[in-house]
Structure 1
Amino acid sequence: MSLQHSQFTVSIAPEPLPSARTPVSIFLAGSIEMGKAVDWQAEVTKGLTHLPVTIFNPRRSDWDGNWKQDIAEPQFKEQVDWEMDRLESSDVIALYLQPTTMSPISLLELGMHAAGGKVVVCCPEGFWRRGNVQIVCHRYGLELVKDIPTLVKRLEARLHQAMENKANIP
């Protein structure tokens, strides 16, 4: 279900693209772990509601853990395609790696999008592969923060920058 007010929109998987899009968009990548991770997406969304942005949130309340992890499973394929399409089209990607999770798909997404420069990573102490994440961020010049409040501040700055860049395109 989409949440929409003034120029702020949240699109939750597997919804189609909102008809009224904002100038910039952000994808909330990161720990979900089939519902085992905290709902950090809600906290980030709350911190960005004052901005004219479209937030793409892959966390869905109707996820069924019985879906076969296979391209032939229609609901699974729909979810993965939705995520991949929104990751590619978003102006900014927020990536949160919760220390109590392994988050293999989030690590895959980091690898897929690190070179694009649009990822802001939050990887607190205690994440099992934090060293690898630090090295990827260092190598590709990605911002790496330690907590969600700092992530929200950095995302706000990046979204403002994206808005300015789009406003300056003739």
Structure 2
Amino acid sequence: MKTILPPQVITPSDVSVFLAGTIDMGNSIDWQQKFIDKANTEEALGNVIVFNPRRASWDHSWAQTIENAQFSEQVNWELDAMESADVILLFIEGNSKSPISMMELGLFADSGKLMVCCEEGFWRKGNIDIICQRKGIDQYKTFDELVTAVMTKLKKLANIK
């Protein structure tokens, strides 16, 4: 398994997953690393690519405008990676606001790529549940259930037994 972080070049791969969801400007738990650690230690995912948007060099002072080159690069990298990915894991923490995660759900609701966990307590969980139900998006109650399902799907896509 190989992890690609922004702004690394997105290369075509046989199978890939994008880790979408709660970051809250870097204030949330690093659940992306938890996924990567579990995938690396418990599952042999071969040549699977993981697109992790949690940029190591993120600067909170960057203006979030289209004119800001670093910000624009980040957003475009994320959109390119989601478009390229075979699977989009979307995890929304119960105590977050996650407005970009809700936007990502809307953008990719018809893609057939989404696998979602929206924790209890999320302020717009009802909206997330309705969108997932209407669009036939697989939904999981816990992060661990989501991780297990995503890894199973990645192994199937990569023909790993």
| Same fold, judged at TM 0.5 (above) | yes
- The amino acid that maps onto 1:23 is D
Superposed, 1:1-170 pairs within 5 Å as: 8-18=1-11, 22-49=13-40, 50-52=44-46, 53-164=48-159
Aligned residue in 2 for 1:168: none
Structure 1's consecutive aligned runs of 4 or more residues displaced over 3 angstroms after TM superposition are: none
Q: TM-score scaled by structure 2?
A: 0.92
CA positional deviation for 1:117: 1.2
8 Å contact from structure 1 (residues 94, 120) kept in 2: yes
Runs (5+) with no aligned partner, structure 1: 1-7, 165-170
Task: Give, in whole Å, the separation in 2 of the partners of 1:46 and 1:147.
Answer: 17
SS of residue paired to 2:109: helix
Task: Give, in whole Å, the separation in 1 of the partners of 2:37 and 2:114.
Answer: 19
- The amino acid that maps onto 2:155 is H
Task: Give, in whole Å, the separation in 2 of the partners of 1:118 and 1:89.
Answer: 10
- The amino acid that maps onto 1:28 is L
CA positional deviation for 1:157: 1.9
CA positional deviation for 1:22: 4.5
SS of residue paired to 2:45: coil
8 Å contact from structure 1 (residues 102, 128) kept in 2: yes
Task: Give, in whole Å, the separation in 2 of the partners of 1:124 and 1:39.
Answer: 16
Task: Give, in whole Å, the separation in 2 of the partners of 1:157 and 1:139.
Answer: 24
User: What are the superposed Cα offsets for residues 95-139 of structure 1, whole Å, 9 maximum, x if unpaired?
Assistant: 010111100011000000011111000111111111111011111
User: What are the superposed Cα offsets for residues 24-51 of structure 1, whole Å, 9 maximum, x if unpaired?
Assistant: 0000000001111110001111222221
CA positional deviation for 1:11: 0.4
CA positional deviation for 1:61: 2.2
Task: Give, in whole Å, the separation in 2 of the partners of 1:17 and 1:88.
Answer: 11
Runs (5+) with no aligned partner, structure 2: none
Overall identity of the aligned pairs, in %? 43
Give the number of aligned pairs: 155
SS of residue paired to 2:110: helix
- The amino acid that maps onto 2:92 is L
Return 82-91 or 9-18, whichever deviates more.
Answer: 9-18
